[in-house]
Chain A
Amino acid sequence: MPPLEHVLVVSAILFSIGVYGVLTRRNAVNILMSVELMLNAVSINMVAFAIYGRVAFDNTFTGIIFAFFIVVVAAAEVALALGIVVRLFRNRATANVDEVNLLKW
């Protein structure tokens, strides 16, 4: 097995790509995909710690369970968010988040 640090670096890179995507993309679908990347980065972290720290954590699967939680939540979230995006597109004929700024004072 590769050392833990390698996995963490992969996870960090993935997370950073996600952050970069969220900050720079203007299309709502792109933003959603970036968010998914971030979530997956977190999941990788969880699983990695769960496996590499098995001895320290007394053989429990808490980390893996959390990863599953994240997958489920992410799926629900995407379903909801895509629903919103579709409604948005229907109403405004755009998925560009710069043009949607109703949510302010």
Chain B
Amino acid sequence: MDAGETLLLLLLIPAGAALAILLLPSQYKNAVRAIALLATLATFIDSIYIFALYDYQEGGLQFDLRYVWLENVAFLRENGISLHLAVDGIAAPLVLLNGIVAFTGALVSWKIDYRNKHFFFLFLFLVTGVFGVYIAQDLFFWFFAYELAVLPMYLLIVIWGSTNKEYGAMKLMMVLVGGSVLIFIGIFAVFIEAGLGTFDLPALGQVEFDAGFSKTFFPFFMIGCGVLAGLWPFHTWSPDGHVAAPTAVSMLHAGVLMKLGAFGIVRLGIELLPAGTEFWMPVLLVLGAIAAIYGAFSALHQHDLKFVIGYSSVSHMGFVLMGLGTMNTIGVNGAVLQMFSHGVMTALFFAMVGAIYDQAHTRDIHAFGGIIRKMPLFVIFFGIAGLASLGLPGLSGFVAEFHIFVGAFDAFPLFAAIGVLSAAVTAVYILRLMGRAALGPFNAKWESLRDLRPYEALAGVTLIAGIVAMGVWPAPFVDRISVSVNELPQVEQIGSPADKLPGIID
């Protein structure tokens, strides 16, 4: 098979499976589950294939595929709107991330019984949309996929959610659509200013935009996409959305959806508007640092498991924005690493929270106590996610955060120190949570709890494999990411020892 088609499969498999599910009678629940699981497994394998075969020595866009949809009509010229798919080194790990999270999300959704046909239909469309954002190289389809990834969230939360779900879903929708409006304006501004009559991203990337234009329209992308990445102070949709959403949707929401925002800043902001990037990035860094410390302190006070993790997501996405804001290779590398790391880590968190909520019907930390006695596997998995989150070496969080801190110290030491401090606060709330809920004297109320079911355990192991793989051997990730980060305009390289210590070491 030609390389480009494997990329197209990422969209065709989940979308096709979604349509197939729609055609099934709704009482065939197991068939629905099986189709969804097989489809996500197939995309997972496909995403591994793409990640593995991305040639990092060559770099650039690979697996290129283009079907022209409209050209040379009305205001469109050559390649006006085309289904242009390709991955670069930044998208490759994120495609893999989405493959993992979609597969594990389908696994833990196995137990969903109420209207499971419609659930999986929407779920698979969400997955398709996310893949589309990562691989689309055409602004029209990029935005189309972006909306496709966001819109099913509303129904998924409202129908299958819990705890104040109408409010959570409506807020999520309104805030995200508000962000979309900004992106939409930005996209048209770029399209018209470029005057090429094409929405093709690589072509637009070649255009040198006027600095004033660049500075004016960069915030549209920064805030529009940033909203989805939990940019402070537009982050509150995220914890509320997490709390309301069903397990698998929380996983996708925190695991991949929030990454779309940060990815959008790279794809649209940094790649298209370098001059604006240079001007606005310090603001992004400061907002990221604020989100990091603010989210950590907020999490300290929460006692709902999902709120703790929701705010920790805000904090960790703050690191991502900080990393992007450094505008040096190490920091931006770290930001992309953190996207992957945070994706698998929070997916694991939410999978575990879902596993316990289904049995206990509460997520209050204080209601639990010593449940390791009943659910040892649960506590181990949750603990691994927690340790990754507080940046323990050997797990993915450390590699990512370390890059971000190094980059940030080189650019803005003060805010970098705030970031490091918030990593320490992370340790406090994670250990507090573990100490309260999982350890300590056993609360006899929970005598009836059972440990993880096999499919939940399988989901957990898959995600942990991702966490450990990146923590122990990050080179494959860094190889791919760094080659594309290097190609970004305005991102500067930091000197090597040989540059910094001339004559002192050889």
Classify A-B as touching or not with yes or no (CB < 8 A): no
